[in-house]
Amino acid sequence: MDIIAVGIDVSKDRLDVAVDPDGEAFVVERNGTGLQQLVARLKQLAPTIVVLEATGGFETVAAAAVGGAGLPIAIVNPAQVRAFAKALGRRAKTDPIDAAVIARFAAATRPEPRPLPDEATQLLSDLVTRRRQIVEMIGAERQREKRAASRHLKKSIARLIKALEKELVSVDTDIDDAVRSSPAWRETEDLLASVPGVGPIIARTLMADLPELGRLNRKQIAALAGLAPYTRQSGQWRGKSFIAGGRQAIRTALFMGAMTARRHNPVLKAFFDRLVAAGKPKLVALIAVARKLLTILNAMLRTKTPWQPA
């Protein structure tokens, strides 16, 4: 069955739109009037799926307008679209061409429409992202401090670190207020943090950046987090399985949780030790622990059941 797939290439000032399979294309401005025009045209088309690339924030307003109108929308990884374009032999890159490629990608892969986070969830995600940025800046400044030879430079770096640490405390307070002001989020955080190895930072990262947790099966949630293993083999050659893609912030948080859980969570420690005893490299075993931790958390949220070691 043919589907009507719409691809939207988002830039700072405009939205290039392409429709597959009929080849229709049009452009609207990236402002209130343009978004109203976009929604009106899309409602006439009644698309099966509307796809935008994740472009670091520019896509947010357009996605909110399309999703708020009740149209099926999906935001996809730009790297996947570029790989698809190369497979098609599309070397040229312009906004209209990109929109057409996105539409063809949508028609070929049929990404599943996903509801957009509500305003409160988006705020929490922004706060968690900001916290991560500040932590990275503090780490970078500490490295510069180690290499600085001048006393004057060291004082400058120390002042900046102090200011960043003060801002980190402020952002942590904002995150805490946001979570604790919502009974549903408070319950979710308490459920996640009941697992040894999962602290408030990991729990809130999952809440902000993986709202699908508890709503998908274990394979789907592992793929979203970039923890689903992919096998490489051809003919007689057997390659190693590897993980790739997914949401990096989630994968990093789960990896840190796995490092703690392999020492302090009896169930996951036994799982890790069993894999190592069977000859698995420690890094492979640690990734497996992260995947199992995610599976446990997914099941706990789905059933609203706290951690049970047995």
Residue 204 to residue 188: CA distance in whole angstroms: 9
In the predicted model, what is the mean pLDDT of residues 170-198? 89
Residues 103, 13 within the same domain = yes
Residue 269 located in a structural domain: yes
- Residue bearing tokens 């994968």: 251
Residues 34, 125 within the same domain = no
Phi, psi of 265 (to 5 degrees): -105, 110
Residues 44, 89 within the same domain = yes
Q: What CATH number is given to the structural domain containing 58? A: 3.30.420.40
Residues 204, 260 within the same domain = yes
Single-letter amino acid, residue 47: P
Residue 190 located in a structural domain: no
Residue 242 located in a structural domain: yes
Residue 191 located in a structural domain: no
Domain containing residue 255 = 200-303
In the predicted model, what is the mean pLDDT of residues 23-42? 88
Residues 98, 34 within the same domain = yes
In the predicted model, what is the mean pLDDT of residues 58-80? 83
pLDDT at residue 1 in the model = 54
Residues 261, 209 within the same domain = yes
How many domains, in total, are found in the chain? 3
Residues 265, 296 within the same domain = yes
How many Cβ atoms from other residues are within 10 Å of residue 164's Cβ? 18
Query: Which H/E stretch holds residue 237?
Result: strand 237-238
For residues 99 and 18, is the Cβ–Cβ distance under 8 A?
A: yes
pLDDT at residue 233 in the model = 58
What's the token pair of residue 239? 């390659």
Q: What is the DSSP string of 40-97?
A: HHHHHH--SEEEEE--TTTHHHHHHHHHHTT--EEEE-HHHHHHHHHHHT-----HHH
C-alpha pair distances (Å), 14 with each of 47, 119, 212, 256: 21, 24, 30, 40
pLDDT band of 272, cuts 50, 70, 90: very high
Domain stops at, among 45, 76, 109:
109
Residues 11, 100 within the same domain = yes
Residues 10, 97 within the same domain = yes
Does pTM surpass 0.85?
Answer: no
